[in-house]
Structure 1
Amino acid sequence: MSVTLAYLADYLDAELHGPADREVAGLGTLASAGGDRLSFLANPRYRGQLETTGAGAVLLRADQVEHCPTAALVVDDPYMAYARVSHVFDTAPAPDAGVHPAALVAPSAKVPASASIGPNVVIEADVVLGEGVVVGANTVIGARTELGDGCHIWPNVTIYHGVTIGPRTIIHAHCVVGADGFGFAPGPGGWTKIAQVGGVRIGADVEIGAGTTIDRGAIDDTVIGNGVILDNQIQVAHNVVIGDFTAIAGKVGIAGSSRIGSQCMIGGAVGISGHLEICDRVQVLGMSLVSRSITEPGTYGSALPVDKQDRYRRNVARFRHLDELHRRVRKLERGAGD
C-alpha cells in the first residue's frame, strides 16, 4: 500500500518539507531505504546516515531538517511518530470474522459474531469472548476464561481455566497462561502437590511475547497490570503482581509472590527472587540478580561486564578475599583512630 506524504503529515500532525504528492510504500532504515520508503532519525548519532540516505522521506526533529537531502516530516518525537506510522504499513493479514469449521466450541461458550476463531481452536465451557476477539489456530482456551474486546491471541497459545484478560491485549504464539504454580509441600515420602486454586488476571492493552509463561495463583490470583509489556520467554511465577506500564525484557525469571511496581523496566535475563517488592519507577539492568526488595526508585544492577579472561579470572580470585580484606581495613582504621 502506498500513501502520500500529505496523508502522513495529516496522520501524524507533522510539518511537511517536500512534495505533498510523493508516495511511500513502506518503512526502511536510513542506510538501506530506497525512494519509495519512509525512514526516521531518532538519535543524532546517525546524522551521517541521514545526510546520505536514499529514503523518499524522513521523520525527524526541526533541528535536523537542514541535514536532510530528501523530503522531511518534522515532528517532536520521531521515534513515537515511527511507532504510530508503522501500523499504516503493517503486513499482518487481517483475520476474517467467524468460527472455522475445524474449531471446537463448547455450547455454553459465548462467542460474538465479530470474533475470529481459527482452525483447531478449542474453546471450553462457559468461556466469554468480547467483540472482535481473534483466536489463532491450535489455541486452547480453558473453561470460564474471559477475554475482553479486541484481544488478539496468536496461534498455539494455551490459556487455562479461570483466566481473565482485559481488552486489546495481545498474546503471542506458544504462551502458556494459567498453568499450575510450582507449589509442593516436602515430606518424608517426597513432595505433595498443592492445588493451585487462584487464577490469572491480565489488564487492558497488555502485550505478552512468544513463549512466555504466567502461572496461576496458589490462593489469590497472579496479576498483570494495564499496559504491561512482556518480551519473549519470561517466567512469571504464581502470585506475582506486576504494576501498570512496566516493561520486562526476555529471559527474565520472577519467583513466586514477588511484587513489581508500576512503570518499571527490567532488563534481559534478570532474576528476581521470591516474596520481595520492587517499588514504582525502578530500572534493573540486564543479567542482574534481585535478591532483596527495592524501596526507592532508580537504576540498579549487579552483573559484571565482559572482560578479558585472564583479568576476569584474577578478579574472581580476589573476590574470595574481600571479607578478609574488609576485616583488615577495619582493623587498620581502628588503629589509625587510636
Structure 2
Amino acid sequence: MALTLAQLAAELGAELRGDGEAEISGLGTLRSATPAQLAFLANPRYRPYLEQTRAGAVLCTAEQAEACPVATLVVADPYLAFAKVSRHFDTTPEAPREIHPRAVIAPDAVIEDNVSIGPNAVIGAGARLRAGVVVMANAVVGEGVELGEQVRLYPNVTIYHGVVIGPRTIIHAGSVIGADGFGYAFSSGRWSKVAQVGAVKIGADVEIGANVTIDRGAIEDTVIGNGVILDDQVHLGHNVVVGDHTAMAGKVGVSGSSRIGSYCMIGGAVGIAGHLDICDKVVVLGMTLVSKSITEPGTYGSALPADRHDRWRRNTARFRHLDELYRRVRKLEQDARRD
C-alpha cells in the first residue's frame, strides 16, 4: 500500500517538513531506504547516516530534522512513531477463517465465530476458543484450555491442559506453555516427581517468541501479566509471576517461584535464581546473574564486558589474588589506626 506524507503526519500528529503529496510504500533504514520508503532516527549511533540518506522521508526529532536532506516527520519519539507506521506495511499473511478438514477437534470443544484452525491442529476436550482465534498447523490446544478473543498460535505451539490465555495474545512457533515444572524430591538415591497441579494464566496483549517454555505451577498457577513481551527461548519455571508490561530478551531463565514486577526490562541470557522478588521498574543488563531479591527500582548488572584476550587473561589472574589483596590492605589500615 502507499500512504502520502500528509496522511502519515495526520495519523502521528507529526509536523511535516516537505511535500505532503509524496507517497511512501515501504520501510527502510537510513542507509538502505529508497525514495519510496520511510526511515527513522532514534539511536544516536546512526546520526552520521542521516545526511546521506536517500529515504523518501525520515521520522526524527526537531533537532535532527535540521540536518536531514529529505522530507521529515517531526515527532517526540521517532521509534514509537515508526512502530505505529509499521503496521500499515505488515506482511503477515491473513489466516483463512475456516477449520481445516484435517484438524482434530474434540466433540465438546467450544469454537466461537470467525476462528481459524489449520491442518493437523488438535483441539482437546472442553477447550474453548473465543471469536477470532487463529490456531495454525500442528498446534496442540490441550484439554480445558481457554483462548481469549483473537489469540494467535503459530505452527507447532503446544498448550497443555488447563492453561488460560487472554485476548490478543500471540505465541510464536515451537513454544510450549504449561509443561510440568522442575519439581522433584530426592531420597534413597533416587528422584521422586512432585505432581504439578497448578496451571498457567497469561494476560491480554502478551507476545511470546519462538521456542519459549513456560512451566505450569506446582501448586498455584504460573502467572504472566498483561502486555508482557518475551523474546525467543525464554524459560519461566513453575510458579513464576511476571508483572504487567515487563519485557525479557532472548534466553532469559527464571527459576521457580520468583516474582518479577511490572515495567521491568530483563536483558538477554540473564539468569534469575528461584524464590526471589524483583520490584517494579527494574532493568537487568544482559548476562547478569540475579541471586538475591531486588527491592529498589534501577539498573543492575554483573556480567564482564568483552575485552582484548591478553588484557582479560591478566585481569583474571589478578582477580585470583583479590582476597589476598583485601586482607593485606585491611591489615595495613588496622596497623595505621593503632599507630
How would you bin the TM-score normalised by the shorter chain? over 0.9
Structure 2 equivalent of residue 107 of structure 1: 107
Q: Is the 8 A contact 1:28 1:55 kept in 2?
A: yes
Q: CA deviation at 1:66?
A: 2.6
- Give the Cα–Cα distance (whole angstroms) in 2 for the partners of residues 172 and 197 of structure 1: 25
Structure 2 equivalent of residue 58 of structure 1: 58
Q: What number of residue pairs does the alignment pair up?
A: 338
| SS state at 2:161 partner | coil
Structure 1 equivalent of residue 157 of structure 2: 157
Structure 1 equivalent of residue 264 of structure 2: 264
Structure 2 equivalent of residue 179 of structure 1: 179
CA displacement 1:177-222 (0-9 Å, x = unmatched): 0000111111114111111000001111111110110000000001
Percent sequence identity over aligned pairs: 66
Q: Is the 8 A contact 2:38 2:55 kept in 1?
A: yes
Q: 1:189 to 1:64 in 2, by over 3 A?
A: closer
- Give the Cα–Cα distance (whole angstroms) in 1 for the partners of residues 203 and 56 of structure 2: 40
CA displacement 1:53-109 (0-9 Å, x = unmatched): 111111112222332222221222111000000000001111121211111111111
- Give the Cα–Cα distance (whole angstroms) in 2 for the partners of residues 240 and 167 of structure 1: 21
Q: Is the 8 A contact 2:140 2:158 kept in 1?
A: yes
| SS state at 1:99 partner | coil
Structure 2 equivalent of residue 2 of structure 1: 2
Q: Is the 8 A contact 2:137 2:156 kept in 1?
A: yes
Trace 1:282-301 onto structure 2 (pairs within 5 A).
282-301=282-301
TM-score, with normalisation over the residues of structure 1?
Answer: 0.97
Trace 1:103-252 onto structure 2 (pairs within 5 A).
103-252=103-252
2:23 counterpart of 1:20: no
- Give the Cα–Cα distance (whole angstroms) in 2 for the partners of residues 101 and 132 of structure 1: 18
Q: 1:59 to 1:253 in 2, by over 3 A?
A: same
| SS state at 1:98 partner | coil
5+ long unaligned stretches in structure 1 = none
Q: CA deviation at 1:299?
A: 1.0
CA displacement 1:13-65 (0-9 Å, x = unmatched): 22222222221111001111111111112234433322221111111122223
RMSD of Structure 2 on Structure 1 (CA): 1.3
Q: Is the 8 A contact 2:99 2:118 kept in 1?
A: yes
Q: Is the 8 A contact 1:98 1:113 kept in 2?
A: no
Q: CA deviation at 1:319?
A: 2.2
Letter matched to residue 40 of structure 1 = F
- Give the Cα–Cα distance (whole angstroms) in 2 for the partners of residues 254 and 119 of structure 1: 34
TM-score, with normalisation over the residues of structure 2?
Answer: 0.96
2:263 counterpart of 1:274: no
Q: 1:167 to 1:47 in 2, by over 3 A?
A: same
- Give the Cα–Cα distance (whole angstroms) in 2 for the partners of residues 306 and 70 of structure 1: 38
- Give the Cα–Cα distance (whole angstroms) in 2 for the partners of residues 290 and 143 of structure 1: 36
Stretch moving more, 36-45 or 266-275: 36-45
Structure 2 equivalent of residue 41 of structure 1: 41
CA displacement 1:290-337 (0-9 Å, x = unmatched): 111111111111111112223222222222222222222222211111
| SS state at 1:50 partner | helix
- Give the Cα–Cα distance (whole angstroms) in 2 for the partners of residues 170 and 247 of structure 1: 14
- Give the Cα–Cα distance (whole angstroms) in 2 for the partners of residues 44 and 291 of structure 1: 34
Letter matched to residue 38 of structure 2 = L
Q: Is the 8 A contact 1:47 1:67 kept in 2?
A: no
| SS state at 2:88 partner | coil
Q: CA deviation at 1:256?
A: 0.8
Letter matched to residue 31 of structure 1 = R
Structure 1 equivalent of residue 312 of structure 2: 312
- Give the Cα–Cα distance (whole angstroms) in 1 for the partners of residues 116 and 34 of structure 2: 36
- Give the Cα–Cα distance (whole angstroms) in 2 for the partners of residues 20 and 280 of structure 1: 43
| SS state at 1:326 partner | helix
